[in-house]
Structure 1
Amino acid sequence: MKGDLQYFMNVGIVHFMAFPETIAGDGPIVETVKKIATDDFFSSIEITRINDQNQRQIVTQMLDSAGFKRGFGAQPILLSHRADLNSFDQEKRQQAISLIKNAIDQAYEVKAEKLGLLSGPKPETNEEKALELLSDSLKEICRYAKSKGDLVISLETFDDDTDKKCLIGPNRLAVEVAKEVRKVDPTFGLMLDLSHLPMQRESSRDALYTARDYINHAHIGNCYINNPSDPAYGDQHPRFGYPGSECDTEELTEYLKILLEIGYIEEGSDNVVAFEVKPVGNESSEVIIAQSKRTLVRAWNRL
């Protein structure tokens, strides 16, 4: 592929996965964000809650100085509270909505342009009702976000029977929800992640073409689904090429190829393609980030 990959996409990284010690909103957040902000390979970052207001201000100013695009990941907030945006229990569903509204407030505080979230668990019965409730929750969330500014909401698709066991789930169902939510908020879209596709039993071509009209964010990463006793099993986002895993240079090349075909990335594009990678065991975050960058360059050069 001719051309600088950074001219075709906005290369980002999910900070709280690369540095998992920060995922609960504490820890060395300022120091680790600085490592990314000073790396000229990146121009975008996804952060999550930062519990200390002073740290939030420092991070915001740092990312302003770096000229970074930024997203806010609300997925860890929902998961840590076992919150369910499609719960049949109205009180539990409202609790989940309230968590996201609080996340939206913080997303505006750190000047995020986009907020990512996920559906609740896949129910044993009455999937159609769960989809309706999820759409209703997302409409309320979008109305709240737009009442405060231009924050874009992005629903990430996950596995439905391996690890997170989410309602969304299959990308065809995600498109159904997106069609409905866009009646309220035309900017609402879907976030697809290369690392989730093997667990969703979908190829890059099938998933990306199914969701092509609704994709507003893309993640790249890997998963391991061979042995449940392995520490990388499930939705743990190990490095590319982790032994026995599903995604390496070849799979990333195919994913990028389809992103080009559907026009998500192209010359002059500012659309984000973000690493979601996490150290396994005693692996170093910095080493995993460097390995991810090398893998992306190799994949790009194969196009």
Structure 2
Amino acid sequence: MVSIEKYFAFGISVGLLYPEAHTSALRHLSAFTKTAQLNGFETLETTLSDDASVRKAEIAIAREEGKIINYNFPVDFQLDGPFDPGSSDAKIRANALDLAFRHLEYAAEAGSKVIGMTSGIDHGQEERPATMSYFTEYMIALAREAKKVGINLAVEPVERGRFKNLLLGPTDEVCSFVTKMHSLGHENVSVLFDTAHMPLMQEDPITSVRLAHQAGIGHIHIGNAIVGNPANPLYGHTHAPIGIAEGEYDYLEVSAFFAELVKLGYLDINPVAQSARKCVSLEMARYPGLSATLSAQVAYEKVQQAWNRVVEG
């Protein structure tokens, strides 16, 4: 069986594997430490703490373990609250930008090259043009600062009006937004493509990833979703693990997605230089009844099996 690390840098989410990480700085440190020690995963999808001592400790751990931090903006920006980047209230928009700048600083401190992020909440069709205008202003300011530290801002399509309610939104609208940002001179804005969000948005992953590739993919998340059974505890936007019963993705579906990434030229079936590898990360919760470590191991094996089918045919 082929070694996936010869083809792409493989990552995993700290906060989804250890949901308690979000409850305190010390719990985050514990979760980060355990995730950094997992074999087979080179990159860690995470935000970092406002606690400077914890943040510095986590960055040191990542470097000691040979891991790269792919920074994730916190969920605060997705809520109808004090950090909404598309709010009609100028003070709230200023708060959002201040918080974004703070996390950009943390990402730069960690040596991250990409920040995974979303738009803010959708305020309804009537308000959408104004909301988009405010969000665009926010992104322009953020992209300017991110460029100074060599960071790409990868915007993730997320459901609007189903499970979640974010401004962006359908993949085609995210792609149009990214293309607009490029036209304004902000080439460091891209699409973060997450397989889990496709069934949640009732989109076909192959069709949507082709659109994303045309606009520019900055990062890939591999995830799963359960959309057919509301009684399932993992129904909806829960980051269900790969291959779970009633889910949309097992290794065969992931393999078909990988095959499309190869066709598009995002991935290569020939081993590539370490510095030229793209990153693919798991965004998934634990398997029911399994520990975080075993869940990561099972998911790793499924992704390896999926990639092996592409390489060996």
Provide the TM-score with structure 2 as the length reference.
0.88
Change (3 A) 1:80 1:21: farther
Structure 1 residue 282 displacement after superposition: 5.6
Structure 1 letter corresponding to 2:137: D
Count of residue correspondences = 301
Residue 139 of structure 1 aligns to a residue in which SS?
A: helix
Structure 2's unaligned 5+ residue stretches are none
Structure 2 letter corresponding to 1:153: L
- The correspondence of residues 103-122 of structure 1 with structure 2, limited to 5 A, is 103-122=103-122
Residue aligning to 1:49: 48
Residue aligning to 1:137: 138
Residue 28 of structure 1 aligns to a residue in which SS?
A: helix
In structure 1, which of residues 217, 239, 242 is the aligned counterpart of residue 241 of structure 2? 239
Residue aligning to 1:164: 164
Structure-1 separation of matches of 2:22 and 2:79: 10
- The correspondence of residues 70-89 of structure 1 with structure 2, limited to 5 A, is 70-79=69-78, 82=81, 83-89=83-89
Residue aligning to 1:208: 209
**After alignment, is 118-127 or 12-21 more displaced?**
118-127
Report if the CA contact (8 A) 2:78-2:166 is conserved: no
Residue 115 of structure 2 aligns to a residue in which SS?
A: strand
Residue 158 of structure 2 aligns to a residue in which SS?
A: coil
Change (3 A) 1:243 1:287: same
Is 1:30 the counterpart of 2:29? The answer is yes
Report if the CA contact (8 A) 1:220-1:274 is conserved: yes
**After alignment, is 150-159 or 226-235 more displaced?**
226-235
In structure 2, which of residues 222, 226, 229 is the aligned counterpart of residue 227 of structure 1? 229
Deviations, residues 205-255 of structure 1 (Å, cap 9, x unaligned): 111100103111000011112333433122111111222222211221111
Structure 1 residue 81 displacement after superposition: 7.2
Structure-2 separation of matches of 1:121 and 1:77: 10
Residue 161 of structure 2 aligns to a residue in which SS?
A: coil
Structure ranking higher in strand proportion? 2
Residue aligning to 1:173: 173
Is 1:257 the counterpart of 2:259? The answer is yes
Structure 1 residue 43 displacement after superposition: 1.2
Structure-2 separation of matches of 1:81 and 1:44: 31
Report if the CA contact (8 A) 2:191-2:212 is conserved: yes
Residue 288 of structure 1 aligns to a residue in which SS?
A: helix
Provide the TM-score with structure 1 as the length reference.
0.91
Structure-2 separation of matches of 1:23 and 1:145: 25
Deviations, residues 133-162 of structure 1 (Å, cap 9, x unaligned): 322211111112234x11221111111122
Change (3 A) 1:228 1:280: farther
Change (3 A) 1:77 1:106: farther
Structure 1 residue 283 displacement after superposition: 4.4
Report percent identity of matched pairs.
21
Structure 2 letter corresponding to 1:275: L
Change (3 A) 1:98 1:162: same
